[in-house]
Structure formats: structure tokens, C-alpha cells
């Protein structure tokens, strides 16, 4: 099993930390992982993305131009990465602020309304965990017990009190994921 994922959105949306939690969870499950951020000027505001690869084998290239899954959090990233999903692959996006929706018919497309749900719950910080939950409901590449361990490893200890709420946000994401285009 090798899963090649791009996560892309605005700087500050938790793109890098979502990737880190996923990567750490993979490590906890004894997988090979790589987490490669875009570290250009875009990390200071603007768009931000990270390539996360989780595999049973030694990972070759940490940077890619085609992905099994794209997790997309804003319009610029959707415009940039929709075409990079492999045929038969998966695109998950938050519809908030999206005016031009994805149009491909050869990939699986799902929406997770993470922004709306997080503000409804009164805590925008869990937005990225809701999105992560949506992804994991479709591709459960790491087990939930390892996600908890991954959160323990990737969050500073002073934030460990928030782990149960993070896990709850993941579960909410799993519930609200909405199919848009599902291949037969």
C-alpha cells in the first residue's frame, strides 16, 4: 500500500499540521512516511501545501506531480491541483468560498463542509480535523487508535487536553462527508 496525498489551502488553515498528524499516525502504525511542505514565500500567508506519502515500502520521491488523493481547502488550490489527481483517485474539498467546483468525471469527488461545521460548533480550530475525518472515512489508511497516538506525538504536551475534542472533530468529519462524483 502506498498513498500519495497533497493537502493544499491557505496558510494558517492547518494544512501543514493536518499533514503532520497524518504522518505521525502512519509512523505509529509502523508505516513509512514522508511529509514535504512547500516552504517558499507562500508559507508567510497566501497558499500553502504539503505532500504526505504513507507506504508499506521505502518511499522514493518525496515530491510528486500526481497524487492518489488531493485534499483541497481553497479555490486557488482547487484550480492548481484538480488536474493532478490520478484517474480513479480521490478529491476532497471544502465548498466554503468555492465558486468554480471540480468538473472531472474520472475521479471520486467528495465535499466536507468543514468551515461551516467548525463555526457551527463554535471552534474554527477543529476545521482541519473535520476535513481529516472526511478523508479517513473514505480511505481509512490509518486506524483511529493510531490517529490518537499521532495526535499525542504531534501536539505539544500543553495541548494534550484537546485531543478528545480533536478525535470528536474527526468523527464529525466522517459523518458529514458528502459524495459529489463516485465512480462505479
Please report whether residue 66 would count as binding other proteins according to CB under 8 A. Answer: yes
Yes or no: say if 114 and 94 are a contact pair by the CB < 8 Å rule: yes
Which residue of 12, 45, 46, 62 would you call a contact of other proteins, by CB under 8 A?
62
According to DSSP, the β-strands at 108-111 and 178-181 are antiparallel
> Would you give the binding string for other proteins spanning residues 139-158, x where CB under 8 A is met?
--------------xx----
Number of amino acids touching other proteins (CB under 8 A): 23
For the bound state, the minimum distance from the C-beta of residue 136 to other proteins, rounded and expressed in Å, comes to: 19
**Sole binder of other proteins in the list 18, 27, 131, 147 (CB under 8 A):** 27
Within 10 Å of residue 107's Cβ, how many Cβ atoms?
Answer: 19
Give the whole-angstrom CA distance, residue 50 versus residue 59.
Answer: 16
> How many Cα atoms occupy the beta-carbon half-sphere of 111 within 13 Å?
15
What is the C-alpha separation between 96 and 98, in angstroms, rounded?
6
Q: Name the one range near other proteins by CB under 8 A: 22-30, 131-139, 141-149, 159-167.
A: 22-30
Q: Which residue ranges make up the site for other proteins (CB under 8 A)?
A: 20, 23-24, 27, 32-37, 39-41, 59-66, 153-154
Amino acid at each position: 500500500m502506498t498513498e500519495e496525498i497533497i493537502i493544499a489551502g491557505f496558510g494558517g488553515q492547518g494544512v501543514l499540521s493536518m499533514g503532520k498528524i497524518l504522518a505521525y499516525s502512519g509512523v505509529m502504525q509502523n508505516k513509512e512516511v514522508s511529509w514535504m511542505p512547500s516552504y517558499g514565500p507562500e508559507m508567510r500567508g497566501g497558499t500553502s501545501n504539503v505532500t504526505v506519502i504513507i507506504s508499506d515500502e521505502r518511499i522514493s520521491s518525496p515530491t510528486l506531480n500526481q497524487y492518489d488523493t488531493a485534499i483541497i481547502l481553497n479555490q486557488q488550490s482547487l484550480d492548481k491541483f484538480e488536474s493532478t489527481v490520478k484517474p480513479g483517485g480521490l478529491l476532497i474539498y471544502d465548498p466554503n468560498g468555492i465558486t468554480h467546483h471540480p468538473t472531472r468525471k474520472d475521479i471520486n469527488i467528495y465535499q466536507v463542509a468543514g468551515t461551516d461545521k467548525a463555526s457551527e460548533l463554535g471552534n474554527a480550530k477543529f476545521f482541519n480535523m473535520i476535513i481529516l475525518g472526511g478523508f479517513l472515512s473514505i480511505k481509512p489508511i490509518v486506524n483511529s487508535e493510531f490517529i490518537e497516538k499521532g495526535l499525542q506525538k504531534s501536539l505539544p504536551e500543553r495541548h494534550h487536553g484537546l485531543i478528545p475534542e480533536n478525535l470528536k472533530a474527526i468523527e464529525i468529519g466522517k459523518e458529514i462527508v458528502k459524495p459529489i462524483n463516485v465512480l462505479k
